[in-house]
Chains A and B, each alone.
Chain A
Amino acid sequence: MIDTVIFFVSAVIAVGSAVMMISQRNPVLSVLYFIVSLLAQAVLYVQLGALFLGAVLIIVYSGAILVLFLFVIMLLNLRGTEDLGPTGPAVSRASKYLVSVLLLVELVFVIKASFFSAVPVGIVDVAPSEFGSVESVAELLFSNYLYPFELTSILLLAAIVGAVVMAGRLRDTHQEEGETETPTTDVQIKEEV
């Protein structure tokens, strides 16, 4: 019973704050709503036995990634007051909602068709004690999923290099027209920052 209550409360919070996230003008508020949504999702994770991943979601996602978002927003000095110009025609907006809802309906049908009929649903009410624990996840990652796990390290390295190269491009694009582009030195980067 208490589980059900927790589920409903978390689900409503997760969906509600997600809706709030996409409907904000101010990106800072948007990020905060997204964090709320993530916390609610973490509760769902834990309910499903994914203790470790729930913790990771809170620590890494809301703790690191979304802070990075906030950092960027502050870096760009966005206040949500920027004029983004006129919105598109109402028909076009409505059709976009329509398409998304259609997609939802279809996905429900897919789940219904595959999950409820084909897959044997062996729900164990109480998960085994080791299910979702740090040890069991680690055991999987370092045995069956060793290669993908190691490959992610390469992916992360590539991401780091890419981010550094793109964000710190050694070129000043705000120069006046007609001026030749000079290779920017460290000093100029500092000025920019």
Chain B
Amino acid sequence: MLSIPAYIIVALVLFCIGTIGVLITRNIIILFMSIELMLNAANLVLIAFSRALNLMDGHAFVFLVLTVAAAEAAVGLAMVITLYRNRETINIDRFNILKW
């Protein structure tokens, strides 16, 4: 059995890749998936801690996070569809009318 920190390091790396994805990409769908990736990284941390502390509560959290992620995906994709319908683009930088 490997030590727990190894798993956590993996989770942190995944989280930062997600962050980079959010900051870098201009494709709204990839950006969206980056957010999902960050959520998953958090889930991995929860499971690792759960294992480390020998407590099942982390699993319940992860279950709830998965539900939220599913809901978020549904709403988010609906928004993407609406935005695309309005602007004919998936470039996030084009959706910038909410400014001065």
Contacts and interface: CB of A to CB of B under 8 A. Distances in A.
Given A100-B20, A159-B75, A136 B66 contact: no
B23 A73 contact: no
B67 A85 contact: no
Nearest to A110: B12
B71 A97 contact: no
Interface residues of A, number: 91
A113 interface: no
A123 B52 contact: yes
Given A48-B51, A123-B3, A123-B4, A159 B74 contact: yes
A72 B77 contact: yes
A22 B24 contact: yes
Given A162-B78, A163-B74, A78 B52 contact: no
Contacts of B9: 108, 111
Contacts of A141: 60, 63
23 contacts: A11-B6, A15-B13, A27-B29, A30-B29, A34-B33, A37-B37, A53-B43, A65-B36, A65-B70, A69-B77, A75-B81, A85-B26, A87-B26, A97-B20, A103-B16, A121-B4, A137-B56, A137-B59, A140-B56, A152-B68, A156-B67, A159-B70, A163-B77
Interface of A: 3-4, 7, 11, 14-15, 18-19, 21-22, 24-25, 27, 30-31, 34, 37-38, 41, 44-45, 47-50, 52-53, 56-57, 60-61, 64-65, 68-69, 72-73, 75-76, 78, 82, 84-85, 87, 93, 96-97, 99-101, 103-104, 107-108, 111, 115-116, 119, 121-128, 131-132, 136-137, 140-141, 144-145, 148-149, 152, 155-156, 158-160, 162-167, 169, 173-174
